[in-house]
Amino acid sequence: MIFKSFRKDKSSLQHGQSEQQPQSNIHTLEERALDFFNEIYSYDDLKEILYRGILSEHNVNILLVGPPATSKSLLLQCIHEKLKDCVYYDAVNSSGPGIIQDLTNHKNTRIILIDEIDKLNKKDQAVFYNLMETGEIIITKKDNKINFTMDNPKIFATSNGIEHLNKPLRSRFSIYRLQEYSDKDFIKISVHLITSKFHFPSILSALIAQLLLEKGEKDIRKVLNIAKLIRPDDDVKKIKKIIETYLKYQDSHD
């Protein structure tokens, strides 16, 4: 079984409080939601839905569906960074049984985040049916017997589409479909994210996004990866070289 999980020591979000103390002028639930997801541009209405899901006492299960470059993964990462009792799995490098096995070590987890859940094969997807309905996990295979119950766990997941998801699994999610960004929005999102995370000047942030667009790339993850390599005093020529080198050695199937 191969799985990739992350767990950090994070402050618990109770009654809408994030890791940092909220500013005194943040009062409404909508304002708290926008503050919680402040590094991500746009999707204000969806941010409130996700935030309501986080606060709900019920087993809310949310699936974000859309093509690459729609900030689906960034929304999950933001939740993972700011919440305690939350685990994150990258389904590209995981299996359904592997995730369940790992959850035996996190039985009190409130929220389970699964990025690209459509990468799990359909047989593996079935292990989540009972978990999403009742919180029960029951595996009775000869070489692997697991039986425990979680208290109203929530699954927030992403998927590029629903074609590779079992119908029973799809029916257990509230599905929200995200549209691909326009070039203009991609630049705005990149600028907002880079300036928030790395404190780069807006002009430098926009340049990174624009150069990626010229290479036919519109992936927010690549924006972040490249931004981590750039120094604030790099000139245009140096930034172009960094981007060209980064793209040159990327797998064409990524």
Averaged pLDDT, 36-60: 93
Q: Roughly how many angstroms between the first and final C-alpha of the chain, as a whole number?
A: 22
pLDDT band, residue 4 (cuts 50/70/90): very low
Q: Which of 13-27, 45-59, 96-110, 185-199 bottoms out in mean pLDDT, i.e. has the lowest?
A: 13-27
CA nearest to 221, candidates 194, 188, 241: 194
Considering the domain architecture, whether residues 11 and 79 belong to the same structural domain is answered as: yes
Q: For position 11, what pLDDT does the model report? A: 40
State which of 177, 194, 215 marks the end of a domain: 177
On whether residue 85 sits in a domain, the answer given is yes
On whether residue 204 sits in a domain, the answer given is yes
Contact 5, 88 (CB under 8 A): yes
Specify the DSSP class assigned to residue 151. S
Please give the residue range of the domain that contains residue 190.
183-248
On whether residue 254 sits in a domain, the answer given is no
pLDDT tens-digit profile of 147-203?
888 988 999 999 999 999 999 999 999 999 998 888 998 899 889 889 988 888 898
- Structural domains of the chain, count: 2
Q: State the residue for tokens 């094969």.
A: 121
With a cut of 70, say whether residue 24 has pLDDT above it. Answer: no
Considering the domain architecture, whether residues 136 and 29 belong to the same structural domain is answered as: yes
User: Angle at CA 92, nearest 5°, toward 6 and 113?
Assistant: 45
Q: For position 137, what pLDDT does the model report? A: 84
State which of 128, 145, 177 marks the end of a domain: 177
Considering the domain architecture, whether residues 121 and 194 belong to the same structural domain is answered as: no
pLDDT band, residue 142 (cuts 50/70/90): low
Averaged pLDDT, 82-95: 92
* Neighbour order of strands in the sheet with 5-6: 5-6, 86-90, 111-115, 154-159, 61-65, 174-177
Considering the domain architecture, whether residues 85 and 124 belong to the same structural domain is answered as: yes
Collapse the DSSP code of 159 into the 3-class scheme (helix H, G, I; strand E, B; otherwise coil) and give the result: strand
Averaged pLDDT, 20-42: 80
State which of 115, 142, 177 marks the end of a domain: 177
With a cut of 70, say whether residue 55 has pLDDT above it. Answer: yes
On whether residue 24 sits in a domain, the answer given is yes
Considering the domain architecture, whether residues 204 and 142 belong to the same structural domain is answered as: no
In the chain, the largest separation of any two C-alpha atoms, in whole Å, equals 61
Considering the domain architecture, whether residues 73 and 163 belong to the same structural domain is answered as: yes
With a cut of 50, say whether residue 22 has pLDDT above it. Answer: no
Contact 102, 114 (CB under 8 A): no
d(CA 179, CA 250): 25
Q: For position 251, what pLDDT does the model report? A: 65
Within 10 A of 148 (CB to CB), how many other CB atoms are there? 12
CATH number of the domain residue 19 falls in = 3.40.50.300
Considering the domain architecture, whether residues 154 and 193 belong to the same structural domain is answered as: no
Mean pLDDT of all residues in the chain? 85
On whether residue 144 sits in a domain, the answer given is yes
The two tokens of residue 214 are 């010229």
Considering the domain architecture, whether residues 167 and 189 belong to the same structural domain is answered as: no
On whether residue 253 sits in a domain, the answer given is no
d(CA 211, CA 166): 39
Considering the domain architecture, whether residues 219 and 112 belong to the same structural domain is answered as: no
